[in-house]
Structure 1
Amino acid sequence: MNFLTQIDNLALIALLVVSGIALFLPTLSTLISGKGLSPTEATIWINRRKAYVFDLRPEEAFKLGHLPGAKRLSSADLAASLEKMKLNRKHPVVLVCETGSESLKAIGQVRQLGFSEVATLQGGVAAWKAAILPLVK
């Protein structure tokens, strides 16, 4: 009976560990691979974690409406622009474009500058609008 109890306990511990990993994996993959944040997650990063928000869209699109607190940067000059700003590298960064694809390509550049937490707004400004979140004009 003792042996069976030990097997049951080991099975429960293994189940607990696997469940914990499964719950943490989406967050970990976002941080490691830089995949997108949902509009809700981006809002949490912006409001609670004081994330920097950089909009990589053309100036005309930026003027039509952008995320609150976002700064427009050209994706071609992204690294140089960020270097000039002398930002705190400990703050997270959210990159934004129209659909999320252009900002996904820029994650590597931002990480090379020493920002450890970099993510994109999954679906871009289009997803932000679809979630009926405010844009600043």
Structure 2
Amino acid sequence: MKFIIDNWYLFLVALASGGMLLWPLIKNARDGALTPARVVQMINREKAVVIDVCETEEFAAGHVVGARNLPLGQIEERLPGVVKNKALPVVLVCATGARARRAVTMARKLGYDNAQAMAGGLAAWRAASLPVEKT
């Protein structure tokens, strides 16, 4: 116990560094964001549908293989026609993840409870060296 009292600052530093390491995991869990590796698992195991919410020009420049393009402004009108089964996992992707998080909110209002955003967007997908296709 004397060691702990004499070296309280070391324990404080260890606690702070541990918190900083855990923060991204906690934040992503709260936001419902997915890693690119988890998205691949969902596509392969759970038949997840990948929706790219980028504008058409951005989508044509590069997107997740097999993704469908629904620009953010068209999600509410077109998503029910593209993904008819609301029980399927829906992965929303954009360039960096910001628009995808907004799209998750819209999709959940439409009844897609399994809608989630991919953390980091297409940039994270490319950083993980996963395939990108262009149209």
State TM-score, norm by structure 2: 0.74
After superposition, where does 1:118-137 map in structure 2 within 5 Å? 118-137=115-134
Paired residues of 1:54 and 1:95 also in contact (CA < 8 A): yes
Structure 1: runs of 5+ lacking an equivalent = 1-25
| Alpha-carbon separation, structure 2, partners of 1:102 and 1:85 | 19
Aligned equivalent of 2:89 = 92
Q: 1:68 aligns with which of 61, 65, 69?
A: 65
Within 1, Cα distance between the matches of 2:102 and 2:111?
Answer: 17
Residue 102 in structure 1 maps to residue 63 in structure 2: no
Separation in 1, partners of 2:53, 2:65: 14
- For the 8 Å contact 1:34–1:118, the answer to whether it is kept is no
Q: Which amino acid aligns with 1:77?
A: Q
Alpha-carbon distance change, 61 to 37 in structure 1, aligned in 2, over 3 angstroms: same
Q: Which structure 1 residue ranges, 4+ long, deviate > 4 Å from structure 2?
A: none
- What is the CA–CA distance in structure 1 between the aligned matches of 2:112 and 2:62, rounded to whole Å? 26
Structure 1 residue 115 corresponds to structure 2 residue 112 = yes
Cα distance change of structure 1 residues 111 and 136 upon mapping to structure 2, 3 Å threshold: same
- CA deviation digits over 1:28-60, x for unaligned, max 9? x74xx5421001001111111111111011111
Q: In percent, how many aligned pairs have the same letter?
A: 37
User: What root-mean-square deviation, in Å, do the aligned CA atoms of Structure 1 and Structure 2 show?
Assistant: 1.8
Tell me the alpha carbon deviations over residues 73-116 of structure 1, each in whole angstroms, 9 at most, x when there is no partner: 01111011012335111100000000001110111110111111
Structure 2 residue runs without a partner (length 5+): 1-24
Is the partner of 1:126 in helix, strand or coil?
Answer: helix
Please state if 1:55 is matched with 2:69: no
TM-score (norm 1): 0.73
Amino acid at match of 1:71: R
1:86–1:120 Cα change, 3 Å? closer
